[in-house]
Amino acid sequence: MARSLCPGAWLRKPYYLQARFSYVRMKYLFFSWLVVFVGSWIIYVQYSTYTELCRGKDCKKIICDKYKTGVIDGPACNSLCVTETLYFGKCLSTKPNNQAKLGDQGNLSELVNLILTVADGDKDGQVSLGEAKSAWALLQLNEFLLMVILQDKEHTPKLMGFCGDLYVMESVEYTSLYGISLPWVIELFIPSGFRRSMDQLFTPSWPRKAKIAIGLLEFVEDVFHGPYGNFLMCDTSAKNLGYNDKYDLKMVDMRKIVPETNLKELIKDRHCESDLDCVYGTDCRTSCDQSTMKCTAEVIQPNLAKACQLLKDYLLRGAPSEIREELEKQLYSCIALKVTANQMEMEHSLILNNLKTLLWKKISYTNDS
């Protein structure tokens, strides 16, 4: 009899649970569909950008058409367009418009003579109209100018030839300072913090890392107040540095290494609200003058400080215990360098030489170095 007092009670609960399950299922399906839609859209946009900017066949056709009509010329044109022994492989960048002015450089007459020597691709003592047009197009690119200036330096890839605004440099076996190469689709879904931690696991032995680090310090010396002026490293990320099978550092991408005079012209008087508005590339920062709301021209951090910031985790991970404390101390002193500090150039040279000496002493007698 007790059951007959509320006969519908045992029926109402299953209906309630069924409705709740339906709501949860619909909510789950909606968010699943949303994730798939957003993910597909991101992949589509990335793929469209990649294929649009990495169009090797189209670039080759344009360059070769100009070469065959005599508009451009260069030592790499025959290999690219006639014998076809030169071909496009992996697309290393999808960044357009990597152009800049030549600017005012020290020893300008020597620089002009050096450029004319490179422009004479067939080495006949004369620069043809096609070679001149090719050289002029290439001089709009920071990387080409720097490769010409630093051709005798160990850590600059050798310039193998050019054709129009295409230039060929030596192959570098390892095209990142550390890490593992993953398909770009997977890269989209890996958090940056986890990616950095994972990358540090895929590095050479410590003595070899020390040798690569010395190479970076030597490259910083090469571009610091050289005979053709001072150059600023505006993107010191690991992906722009590589090394060969002997663990000698090689610069993979130098497009964001710019003449200091050029950078000052680009950034000075730029309107700003805060220091965040006064950045070129990722690493060249000036300050915002709040009285005029304009960016100042002087870069805050020198190349060496940015290089040490990159090397800190790279060198401290696995460092021998007997030098770890001193190494950490020197790296932090290096990172603290400021362009505006008194006697900055003296401190720069002292810190750089101390770091190189510390590393060389530790690896001089090891097989891995």
- Show pLDDT as tens, one digit a residue, over the chain (369 residues): 444 444 444 444 455 545 555 655 666 666 666 666 555 555 544 444 444 445 667 778 888 888 888 888 888 888 888 888 776 665 555 454 444 444 444 566 777 788 888 888 778 888 888 888 888 888 888 788 888 888 888 898 888 888 888 888 888 888 888 776 666 666 666 777 776 677 777 788 999 999 999 999 999 999 887 777 889 999 998 889 999 999 999 998 888 898 888 888 889 889 999 999 999 989 999 999 999 999 999 999 999 999 999 999 999 989 999 999 999 999 999 999 988 766 778 888 899 999 999 999 999 877 665
- Same structural domain, 102 and 250: no
Q: How many CB atoms lie within 10 A of CB 261?
A: 19
Six-digit token pair at 367?
């097989």
Residue 217 and residue 92 share a domain:
no
Whether 41 maps to a domain, the answer reads no
Whether 151 and 281 map to the same domain: the answer is: no
- In the block, residue with structure tokens 């002193």: 333
Nearest Cα neighbor of 71 from 117, 123, 132, 125 is: 132
Indicate if 222 and 130 belong to the same structural domain: no
Position 36 scores a pLDDT of: 64
Within a domain: residue 192? yes
Q: Please state, in angstroms and rounded to a whole number, the distance separating the CA atoms of residues 243 and 253.
A: 12
8 Å CB contact between 294 and 264: no
Bridge-based pairing of strands 288-289 and 231-233 is unpaired
Answer with the one of 136, 169, 202 that is the final residue of a domain. 169
Q: Are 125 and 216 in the same domain?
A: no
Residue 12 lies in a domain: no
Domain shared by 65 and 205, yes or no: no
- 203 in the same domain as 343: yes
Residue 20, domain member (yes or no): no
Helix 108-119 / helix 129-138 crossing angle, nearest 10 deg: 120
Do 353 and 239 share a domain, yes or no?
A: yes
Range of the domain at 101: 56-169
Element (H, E) at 75: none
300 in the same domain as 241: yes
Predicted TM-score (pTM) of this structure: 0.74
Does 155 share its domain with 261? no
Give the pLDDT score at 48: 44
Q: Is 244 within a domain?
A: yes
> Is residue 284 situated within a structural domain?
yes
Q: Pick the last residue of a domain from 169, 198, 230.
A: 169
Total domain count, the chain: 2
Please indicate, yes or no, if residue 45 is contained in any of the structural domains.
no
Backbone angles phi, psi at 224, to 5 degrees: -95, 105
pLDDT for 135 equals 84
Does residue 312 share a domain with residue 193? yes
From 118, 139, 169, give the residue that closes a domain: 169
Q: What is the pLDDT of residue 91?
A: 57
Q: Is residue 273 located within the same domain as residue 188?
A: yes
We report the CATH number of the domain holding residue 221 as 1.10.510
Report if residue 22 sits inside a domain: no
